[in-house]
Amino acid sequence: MVATTDWQKSAYIAGQAADARVNVELETEGMTLNLGPQHPATHGTLRIVVRLDGEQVVWAEPVAGYMHRGYEKLCEVRTYPQVTTLVNRIDWLGHFANEVPFILAAENLMGIEAPPRAQWIRTIFFEMARIANITLFLGDMGVQLGAITPIFFAFRDREHVLNLMEAATGGRFHPNYDRIGGLKEDLPRGWVEECKAAMKKMRGFCDEIEDLLMGNEIFQKRTRGIGVIPPAVGLEYGLSGANIRASGVDWDIRRDEPSPLAYKECDWKVWTHPDGDSFARYWVRLQETREATKIVDQLLESLPAGSIQAKVPRIIKVPAGESWVHTENPLGEMGYYVVSKGGLGPFRVKIRTPSFNNVSITPWLLRGVYVPDVITILASLYFILGDIDR
């Protein structure tokens, strides 16, 4: 474990000294523990094999593949418009956000751009997917640490967002709403006002959860200094999103890279935290949810009128070429490398999902921690199994 701040350094040294004393007194035989495949901390079915020495992890090895659906292969036998149905199901809590980078990659190759209204609505739904996704994390992290109440608040308040998604797209979890060159439909009447009210409620939820959970002493004791990721190691493993911002890396694709989405039209902030521990990851995600509601509010205010669909042929053929488009998804950097040979469907799609890299750090990160902290660390890394296995 490597500490990043002075506070953590002293805590780490004290912890090591205490461990050494205990280990001399209680010498135990090693044992192997299978965590999962069905454990609530895994958001799906991930098995983690941990070798224990007493209460401490000697090594840990995640075993993925229980939900492998072969989307990269399936994409090769679909047409471009059909692919969005598949990719909705990669990160099922961030549903709409999965569609956007793929559609942008296809538009990129075709050399078309959706009209402003469509870009605005895309960005609004992108951020709403983020809110719906991270809301659940904010509650779920409590459950992993023994606080049951927050998850009920999270499920209750997430419905505000999901109801709005359903009203506009017809689907709570699988909207399939993004189209090459625009969107499926325009927003229903009265939606904008309801959305503003919902964003206010979500900010209320953030305040509530901050009082209820983050200020809690037990929560802080269980998360501070647990699972510290130094920025250089995190980047080497390809950690992205809130996980790397919690290690002090100021990098957000929404802000840092040119994009047809409407982020440059709003005033918002990218939050980072210097500690790199489980608490920092929770804190950064909480701030991100607040910022996302602000982005949605501002975009609703400035929503332009006009068409939601650019002119595209009814049968979509994408010219030959290669395109890499990535976006800042709720879980981190998601990107599609699309290779087209000029046909109706992609020749090859490489789907780069954030959770795959975020989880690949666990063998390094779990070494030497205690069993209850394994759960804390897994919960704080926040992965979705569909996003690892694809």
Partner 1 sequence: MSRLSSAADPEDAPHAPTGEAGDEVVDPVRSQLLADLRQHMGPAVLDSEVAGGDLWVRIDRSAWSKAADVLRNSMGMDYFCFLSGLDWMVNPDLSGEKVWDPDGGVSIDGGDDEAAAADAVVEDTGGGIKTGVAGGSTRFQVFARVFSTTAKVGITLKADLDERDPRTGSWVGVYRGADWHEREAWEMYGFEFDGHPGLRHMYLPGEFEGHPLRKDFPLLAREVKPWPGLVDVEAMPGEEAAPDGADEGADA
The interface with partner 1 within residues 240-299 (CB under 8 A) comprises 240, 244, 249, 251, 253, 256-261
> Can residue 306 be called a binding residue for partner 1 (CB under 8 A)?
no
Which class for 5: exposed (0-12), middle (13-18), buried (19 or more C-beta within 10 A)? middle
Closer residue to partner 1 (CB): 58 or 344: 344
Interface pick for partner 1 out of 36, 139, 175, 181 (rule CB under 8 A):
181
Segment interacting with partner 1 (CB under 8 A) among 86-94, 138-146, 194-202, 234-242: 234-242
Joined tokens for residue 165: 């998604």
Q: Which of positions 39-68 make contact with partner 1 (CB under 8 A)?
A: 64-65, 68
Residue type, 318: V
If one asks whether residue 314 binds partner 1 (CB under 8 A), the answer comes out as yes
- Binders of partner 1 among residues 4 to 43 (CB under 8 A) are none
Angstrom distance (rounded) from CA 129 to CA 137? 13
- Decide: is 74 part of the binding site for partner 1 (CB under 8 A): yes
Least CB distance to partner 1 at residue 93 (A): 21
Our finding on whether 201 is near partner 1 (CB under 8 A) is no
β-bridge partners, 42: none
- Pick between residue 5 and residue 323 the one whose CB is nearest to partner 1: 323
Those residues whose C-beta lies under 8 Å from the C-beta of residue 119, and which sit 6 or more positions away, are 113, 260, 261, 262
- Please say which residue, 52 or 253, places its beta carbon nearer to partner 1: 253
Which of 176, 223 has the CB closer to partner 1?
Answer: 176
Count of residues near partner 1 by CB under 8 A: 75
Beta strands in the chain, from DSSP E residues, in sequence order:
30-35, 47-53, 56-63, 178-179, 182-183, 321-329, 332-340, 348-352
Please list the residues that pair with 60 across neighbouring strands.
50
* Choices 21-29, 128-136, 162-170, 325-333 (CB under 8 A): range interacting with partner 1: 325-333
CB contact at 8 A, 353 and 387: yes
Nearest partner of 328 among 258, 229, 240, judged by Cα: 240
Residue at 113: amino acid letter? E
Single out the residue of 291, 282, 287 nearest to residue 381, CA to CA. 282
Task: Determine, following the binding rule CB under 8 A, whether residue 172 of this chain makes contact with partner 1.
Answer: no
Q: Are strands 182-183 and 178-179 parallel, antiparallel or unpaired?
A: antiparallel
141 vs 216: CA distance, rounded Å: 13
Partner residues linked to 61 by β-bridges: 49
323 forms part of the interface with partner 1 (CB under 8 A): yes
- Interface residue with partner 1, options 19, 55, 72, 159 (CB under 8 A): 72
Minimum separation from the CB atom of position 39 to partner 1 (A):
19
Crossing angle between the packed helical segments 191-209 and 278-301, to the nearest 10 degrees: 160
The yes or no reply on residue 317 touching partner 1 (CB under 8 A) is yes
Tokens of 6: 């002075």
Between 147 and 312, CB nearer to partner 1 = 312
Give the residue, chosen from 104, 121, 214, 378, that forms a contact with partner 1 under the rule CB under 8 A: 104
Member of 232, 274, 301, 302 binding partner 1 (CB under 8 A): 232
For 24, 42, 332, 351, the CA distances from 388, given in Å and listed in that order, are 39, 11, 12, 10
What is the per-residue binding string for partner 1 in 331-360, x denoting contact by CB under 8 A? --x-x-x-x-xxxxx--x-x-x---xx--x
Pick the closer one to partner 1 by CB: 225 or 231. 231
Encoding tokens for residue 243? Answer: 């996980």
CB closer to partner 1, 298 vs 360 = 360
